[in-house]
């Protein structure tokens, strides 16, 4: 044994104590506040203490009460809401005037006074606008050709879409408005036409900035859901979403121009009283003496599915007398008969009906047969697909069960007084999700419909859920772990039902319920594009704060300047040390010495999330635009350092120097072979031809890599992560 003391390194996290760590638990605070007030009656009511109860009787009740309150406190921490934050008017400025702004507009609406006022206001302020009329029946190829013709040889500085205003039914996509269908095709066609200018989509009175505002057309909110996904999938050519009021005057036009000129905010509402930006914020739990409970007949659409089943069990035990469960297959759906029998054993009457809620006539017949006192609309499908590869038919098929079903319920129930009209929405409609454009659009519509109903005095509650466990959005343990690594913990059904009950008791209009580890979630979510929507959450600000090791400069120019004063060897050592320091930081090691420069990232313990974090740190430190697949392309710290050296200095890499040096030497040697015998010269020619063939083959592989890189630009974050993980496993 060595004679010196053993050296130890602690590997578990010892986070510094913060105010949040030392804050009193609200459950404990409430209890001890009651005790300090010596409010015996309140304590007795809370714990149901009778005059003859002993301490042995009270203790179990106190323990049960505390567990329940801590459980409720956990659920309350999952509540978020959308707010519209007033900002100072953007500085008067104009967008890029070096080219033309294409303005796609529904052909039948081009002459509308509102659209004319928008175009006139922008033109008078020096913006060159070119209206592009689009017929509702236009398909993707035709729209691509029309945009290309409109652009011609001119530089396209931006695209301002006014298509969303067309509320007529889309000819080729049942269930969609022409405005939504054409907006989908526009995103696709701009990519097909090679137009990379930023796309801004405009709606009119589609967002309720304040409770006093009325949403006039919830269909336009689908374009907002679509846009949130387009921002993730096509970050380079996405501008943003702007909602305008019903009247466009000089002030509104000036604000619109200023919004188009900036890039910090991409979800904006412009009103007479100012400019507002969309934000996600924590929503306090609402305490009410009224605890909502069901009565009479409750309709649950999608009632034979996993989510519907969990809700049905809760309603059966909470007082509902009759449950009507719908699904496309009725009792033929897997587990439907067993669910019916289980619910009937609890004493509630159960009707399981085969009904597609997107079929208005079928739904009308069902409601006529079973008049309802409350509705829970949980039907829906979540088919994934990249926006660029989704045809309108598939898009409409995903939207219909949620959006069209909700619209039919709203229209058929009309002014009927209901105890609850609950719409099961999704976080994909709140902040988007790669590969979920149609699903996001459908869920954004549900949120808009809830606002539309409440503005008219009708009951409505839209809950944007995070993923549910036990058969919800999470099919198995592998899916649950994948989501957890992305920062989303699947909701246990009993806790989700508790959140549902809280939303109904508190009379919430729209609420988001999700268990999010923001520090883990926000890094991959903002890989391609910053998110102002999430920027006001304290956890997000902390996660995106500078995480460089002590002594590292936050200014990219500082590293460049330092490298410029160093020799080649010193420069390479500094870059290796920098990469190792950042790699150690994201892995949680105490210093750069824990990372060996020549060891593969796979062996260091890197996964897709840490790979992206390392890329982000190096991007911030160097000022370079580095790909999300940096670790995939350069599998060791030394390899990344060599790559950074070449990018920062603009010099030739050592590998290239070596190749050209050998070619120079080969050229000199070949000169001596000119006088050799023919057999020797023939052998030299054959070898050179073989080398040339290898070079051509490598070039073809490089071209394939370039094609792959272009595909990566349109890939979702999950696609990139899966690619990185696969390479780390196989390399």
The secondary structure of 377-404 as a DSSP string is E-------B-GGG--HHHHHHHHIIIII
pLDDT for residue 709: 54
Confidence of residue 621 (pLDDT cuts 50, 70, 90): confident
User: How many CA atoms, within 13 angstroms, populate the side-chain half-sphere of residue 417?
Assistant: 0
Place of tokens 């999952």: 78
Nearest alpha carbon to residue 199 among 167, 233, 222? 233
pLDDT for residue 378: 95
pLDDT for residue 553: 44
273 by DSSP, 3-state: which?
Answer: coil
Give mean pLDDT, residues 621-629: 77
Looking at CATH, the fold of the domain delimited by 550-731 is given as 1.10.1200
Task: Determine the Cα–Cα distance for residues 432 and 228; give it in Å rounded to an integer.
Answer: 5
Confidence of residue 721 (pLDDT cuts 50, 70, 90): low
If one compares 171 and 718, the residue with the highest pLDDT of the two is 171
Asked whether 618 and 640 are in contact (CB, 8 A), the reply is yes
Place of tokens 């709606």: 203
Give mean pLDDT, residues 378-384: 84
Task: Determine the Cα–Cα distance for residues 152 and 102; give it in Å rounded to an integer.
Answer: 11
Give mean pLDDT, residues 87-99: 77
Q: Tell me the backbone φ, ψ of residue 620, rounded to 5 degrees.
A: -65, -35
Confidence of residue 193 (pLDDT cuts 50, 70, 90): very high
Q: Tell me the backbone φ, ψ of residue 328, rounded to 5 degrees.
A: -60, -30
Give mean pLDDT, residues 239-250: 96
Task: Tell me which of 232-236, 524-528, 537-541 is least confident.
Answer: 524-528
Give mean pLDDT, residues 321-346: 95
Buried b (16+ CB within 10 A) or exposed e, 400-425: bbbbbbbbbbbeebeeeebbbbbbbb
Nearest alpha carbon to residue 505 among 79, 163, 64? 79
pLDDT for residue 492: 94
Task: Determine the Cα–Cα distance for residues 583 and 596; give it in Å rounded to an integer.
Answer: 10
Asked whether 548 and 585 are in contact (CB, 8 A), the reply is yes
Task: Determine the Cα–Cα distance for residues 586 and 592; give it in Å rounded to an integer.
Answer: 11
Packing angle, helices 26-36 and 55-76, rounded to 10: 140
Confidence of residue 414 (pLDDT cuts 50, 70, 90): confident
| Structural domain boundaries in the chain | 1-76, 87-282, 297-513, 550-731
Specify the pTM. Answer: 0.75
Confidence of residue 28 (pLDDT cuts 50, 70, 90): low
Q: Are strands 199-204 and 238-244 parallel, antiparallel or unpaired?
A: parallel
pLDDT for residue 657: 42
Residue 329 has pLDDT above 70, yes or no: yes
Task: Tell me which of 274-288, 477-491, 701-715 is least confident.
Answer: 701-715
For the chain, the average pLDDT equals 83
Residue 554 has pLDDT above 50, yes or no: no
Task: Tell me which of 27-31, 335-339, 481-485, 545-549 is least confident.
Answer: 545-549
pLDDT for residue 550: 39
Tell me how many degrees the CA angle 404-410-412 measures, rounded to the nearest 5.
100
Looking at CATH, the fold of the domain delimited by 87-282 is given as Rossmann fold (3.40.50)
Token digits for 523? 């890094």
Task: Tell me which of 148-162, 216-230, 653-667 is least confident.
Answer: 653-667
pLDDT for residue 609: 63
H and E: helices and strands count for the chain: 29, 17
Report percent pLDDT > 70 for the chain.
81
pLDDT for residue 9: 52
**Neighbouring residues of 66: CB distance < 8 A, sequence distance ≥ 6:** 27, 31
Task: Tell me which of 84-93, 406-415, 457-466 is least confident.
Answer: 84-93
**What superfamily would CATH give domain 297-513?**
NAD(P)-binding Rossmann-like Domain (3.40.50.720)
Asked whether 513 and 78 are in contact (CB, 8 A), the reply is yes
Sign of CA dihedral 84, 187, 252, 531: positive
pLDDT for residue 485: 78
If one compares 446 and 285, the residue with the highest pLDDT of the two is 446
Give mean pLDDT, residues 449-465: 95
Token digits for 452? 């539309």
Task: Tell me which of 24-33, 166-175, 519-528, 547-556 is least confident.
Answer: 547-556
pLDDT for residue 114: 95
pLDDT digits (tens, 9 = 90+) for 258-299: 999 988 999 999 999 999 999 999 998 776 667 899 999 999
Give mean pLDDT, residues 700-709: 51
pLDDT for residue 248: 95
Task: Tell me which of 164-168, 627-631, 688-692 is least confident.
Answer: 688-692
pLDDT for residue 464: 97
Task: Tell me which of 322-326, 333-337, 354-358, 601-605 is least confident.
Answer: 601-605
Same fold? 87-282, 550-731:
no
Q: What is the dihedral of CA 68, 70, 75, 77, to 10 degrees?
A: 160
């Amino acid at each position: 044994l060595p004679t010196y003391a053993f050296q130890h390194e602690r590997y578990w996290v010892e986070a510094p104590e913060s105010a949040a760590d030392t804050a009193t638990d609200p459950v404990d605070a409430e209890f001890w506040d009651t005790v300090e007030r010596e409010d015996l009656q309140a304590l007795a009511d809370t714990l149901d203490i009778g005059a003859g109860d002993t301490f042995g009787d009270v203790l179990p009740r106190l323990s049960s009460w505390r567990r329940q309150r801590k459980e409720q406190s956990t659920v309350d921490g999952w509540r978020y809401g959308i707010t519209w934050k007033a900002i100072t008017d953007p500085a008067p400025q104009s967008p890029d005037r070096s080219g033309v702004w294409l303005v796609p507009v529904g052909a039948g609406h081009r002459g509308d006074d509102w659209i004319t006022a928008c175009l006139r206001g922008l033109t008078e302020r020096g913006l060159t606008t070119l209206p592009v009329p689009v017929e509702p029946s236009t398909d993707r190829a035709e729209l691509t050709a029309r945009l290309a013709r409109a652009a011609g040889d001119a530089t396209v500085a931006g695209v301002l879409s006014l298509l969303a205003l067309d509320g007529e039914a889309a000819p080729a996509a049942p269930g969609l408005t022409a405005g939504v269908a054409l907006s989908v095709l526009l995103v696709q066609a701009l990519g097909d036409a090679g137009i990379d200018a930023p796309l801004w989509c405009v709606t009119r009175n589609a967002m309720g900035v304040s409770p006093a505002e009325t949403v006039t057309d919830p269909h336009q909110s689908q374009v907002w859901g679509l846009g949130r996904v387009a921002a993730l999938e096509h970050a380079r050519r996405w501008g943003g979403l702007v909602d305008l009021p019903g009247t466009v005057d000089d002030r509104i036009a000036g604000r619109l121009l200023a919004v188009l000129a900036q890039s910090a905010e991409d979800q904006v509402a412009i009103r007479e009283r100012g400019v507002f930006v969309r934000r996600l914020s924590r929503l306090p739990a609402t305490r009410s003496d009224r605890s909502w409970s069901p009565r009479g007949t409750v309709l649950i659409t999608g009632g034979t599915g996993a989510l519907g089943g969990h809700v049905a069990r809760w309603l059966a035990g909470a007082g509902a007398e009759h449950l009507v469960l719908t699904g496309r297959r009725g009792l033929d759906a897997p587990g439907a008969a067993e669910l019916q029998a289980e619910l009937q054993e609890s004493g509630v009457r159960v009707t399981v009906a085969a009904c597609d809620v997107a079929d208005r006539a079928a739904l009308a017949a069902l409601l006529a047969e079973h008049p309802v006192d409350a509705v829970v609309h949980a039907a829906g499908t979540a088919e994934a697909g990249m926006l660029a590869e989704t045809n309108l038919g598939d898009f409409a098929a995903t939207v219909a069960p949620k959006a069209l079903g909700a619209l039919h319920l709203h229209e058929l129930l009309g002014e009927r007084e209901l105890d609850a009209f609950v719409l099961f929405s999704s976080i994909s409609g709140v902040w988007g999700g790669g590969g979920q454009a149609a699903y996001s659009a459908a869920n954004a519509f549900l949120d808009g419909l809830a606002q539309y109903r409440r503005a008219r005095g009708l009951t409505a509650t839209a809950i944007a859920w995070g993923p549910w466990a036990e058969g919800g959005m999470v099919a198995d343990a592998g899916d649950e772990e994948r989501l957890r690594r992305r920062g989303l913990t699947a909701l246990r059904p009993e806790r989700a039902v508790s959140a549902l009950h809280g939303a109904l008791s508190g009379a919430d209009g729209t609420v988001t319920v999700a268990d999010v580890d923001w520090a883990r979630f926000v890094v991959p979510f903002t890989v391609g594009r910053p998110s102002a929507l999430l920027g006001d959450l304290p956890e997000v600000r902390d996660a995106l704060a500078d995480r460089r090791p002590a002594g590292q400069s936050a200014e990219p120019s500082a590293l460049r300047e330092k490298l410029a004063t160093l020799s080649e060897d010193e420069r390479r050592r500094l870059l290796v040390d920098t990469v190792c320091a950042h790699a150690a930081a994201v892995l949680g090691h105490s210093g750069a010495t824990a990372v060996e420069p020549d060891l593969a990232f796979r062996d260091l313990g890197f996964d897709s999330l840490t790979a992206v974090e390392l890329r982000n740190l190096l991007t911030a430190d160097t000022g370079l635009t580095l790909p999300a697949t940096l670790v995939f392309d350069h599998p060791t710290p030394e390899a990344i350092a060599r790559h950074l050296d070449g990018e920062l200095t603009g010099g030739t890499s050592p590998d290239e120097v070596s190749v050209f040096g050998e070619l120079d030497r080969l050229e000199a040697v070949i000169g001596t072979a000119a006088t050799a015998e023919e057999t020797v010269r023939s052998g030299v020619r054959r070898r050179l031809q073989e080398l040339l063939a290898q070079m051509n083959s490598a070039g073809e592989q490089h071209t394939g890599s370039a094609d792959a890189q272009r595909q990566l630009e349109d890939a979702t974050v999950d696609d990139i992560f899966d690619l990185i993980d696969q390479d780390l496993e196989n390399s």
